[in-house]
Amino acid sequence: MRILGIDPGLAITGWAIVDFEKGTPKAVDYGSILTEKGKTVFERLSEIYKDLNGILDEFKPEYCGIETLLFYNNAKTAIVVGEARGVILLALQEHLIPIREFTPLQVKSSISGYGKATKKQVQENVKIICNLDEIPKPDDVADALAVAIACSDRLKMDELV
């Protein structure tokens, strides 16, 4: 099974394609969609949409896990991250990819067994689980890998229920 994990953001959207064979994750490819600060929000959202469509066309994931927007100290930040999530969800829907959403707590629980794990603990566990030589950078990419793993775990649980 091939899963796309996404950590949405306007400046940086982390993404990861992970194959799961017999429950073992294999990171196929991962990276980030970066948008320039000087561009308009419209241009940045368009760039996320276009780049994500390229990823979807190239890797053809069967499912997608995406982190939810829970809370931001800055309302303006929350709004633009929500807008980025919107164009991401649109692209996924247009490709008919089933979506599972996860809170940061759910992702941490899946990766480390503890919902209040530190970012560093999650990153180290992602490195170990995916058998990587180093922690992917920027942090949003490691988070996207974690979301893909959480999505696989959720799908396994759905099968049991």
- The residues annotated as belonging to the active site are 7, 67, 140
158 appears as a binding residue in the annotation: no
43 appears as a binding residue in the annotation: no
Q: What gap in Å lies between CA 92 and CA 86, rounded to an integer? A: 10
Residue-wise burial string across 24-60, b where 16 or more C-beta atoms lie within 10 A, e elsewhere: ebebeebbbbbbeeeeeeeebbebbbebbbebbeeee
57 appears as a binding residue in the annotation: no
Whether the Cβ atoms of residue 147 and residue 64 lie closer than 8 Å to each other: no
Q: What gap in Å lies between CA 16 and CA 31, rounded to an integer? A: 6
Short-list 110, 63, 80, CA closest to 8? 80
Q: What gap in Å lies between CA 116 and CA 139, rounded to an integer? A: 17
Annotated binding site for Mg(2+), which residues?
A: 7, 67, 140
